[in-house]
Structure 1
Amino acid sequence: MIVGLLAAIAILNMTTALEKARVTRAIAEIRGMEKELAKYELDNGGLPDTLTEIGWGERLDPWGSLYQYLNFATVAAGNGNGNGNGNGNAGGVPGRARKDKSLVPLNSTYDLYSMGRDGKSQTPLTAQASWDDVVRAGDGAFVGLATDF
């Protein structure tokens, strides 16, 4: 009985450590994409419509889902890919900016995030489906778990 309890504790600790490592990797990858997006914007006078244009279109997050990207200028102009997430998989929040607990947009030019462990997301960070998302907020001042913002 004690051995079983110790094994359960060890498995829980390992699972927690693995999840923290995945979040850390997603944060690092989002920071890398931010740099590529900034370079693209400097070189081209505007942000790309999709992550494919910076070489990240098929890149999976640590949980096996595509990263989500929404260029607000593209959505406002009506020339996006129709699903609002910028990468063609229709899994994100279609054409709408992510919002904080006060329903204020997280960013002014684009949203970039991972849908986290559950692979689901909704516009407000307060929605349960968004709690495990790894988000970019404050125009890059914050990248981390939605629950930490």
Structure 2
Amino acid sequence: MPLAAILARFPHQARLFGVTLIELLLSLTIVGILAIVAVASYGFLREKQDIIQATTDIQTIEGLLERDFTTHNRYPDSLAEIPGAAALRDPWGNPYQYLNIATVKGKGKVRKDHNLVPLNTDYDLYSMGKDGRSVSPLTAKASRDDIVRANNGGFVGLASDY
């Protein structure tokens, strides 16, 4: 039996065979909103994963520095003196920053908190964060996304959380 004959026999059901343009647009809108939410969530999770990776790397380098200290009774002048430490890069592709405070003349390059008090007394170790920029005080905008070691290793994390 042809479709036209079926539709003529049941005229009230003829509307059930198709999708209206409004229904199609509504479905596409819902799928688009779900895609935007999924992409935003993935970006947030990826950023959090990068921060965790940088924190773990800093703790690993810290362990290498402490082992070297017990061997030589001093901290090295640079990460290049520690096998494997100089080659490490943060999740954003930048080298980790290290400063032996005992060898610094003046305190200009030493990392400082919001009260301009040095974060550490032994050495500074940090990642410049996502933007790849950093300045000495943590309150500066360029330093808010840095991953820092503070309180002589008592804190390792995002500078804005310190």
TM-score grouping bracket, smaller chain normalisation: 0.7 to 0.9
Q: Does 1:74 align with 2:103?
A: yes
Structure 1 gap ranges (5+): 78-94
User: Alpha-carbon deviation of 1:76?
Assistant: 3.0
User: Of 95, 107, 120, which aligns to 2:133?
Assistant: 120
The residue that corresponds to 2:66 in the other structure is 38
Q: Aligned match of 2:114 in 101, 109, 114?
A: 101
C-alpha separation in 2, matches of 1:42 and 1:76: 24
Unaligned runs of 5+ in 2: 1-28
| Equivalent AA in structure 2 for residue 4 of structure 1 | G
Larger helix percent = 2
Count residues with an aligned counterpart: 133
Structure 1 counterpart of 2:156? 143
Q: Which has the larger Rg?
A: 2
Q: Following TM superposition, by how much is the alpha carbon of 1:58 offset from its aligned partner in structure 2, in angstroms?
A: 2.4
Q: Which runs of 4+ in 1 moved over 2 A?
A: none
User: TM-score if structure 2 supplies the norm length?
Assistant: 0.78
Instruction: Flag the structure with more relative contact order, 1 or 2, with Cα contacts below 8 A and sequence separation at least 6.
Output: 1
Cross-structure match for 1:80: none
Q: Does residue 1:51 correspond to 2:51, yes or no?
A: no
For residue 46 of structure 1, report the CA deviation from its aligned partner.
Answer: 0.2
C-alpha deviation, 1:2, in angstroms: 2.4
Cα distance in 2, alignment partners of residues 39 and 59 from structure 1:
17
Identity, % of aligned pairs? 50
- 2:92 paired residue number: 63
What is the distance in 2 between the residues matched to 1:4 and 1:106?
46
Q: Residue in 2 aligned with 1:6?
A: 34
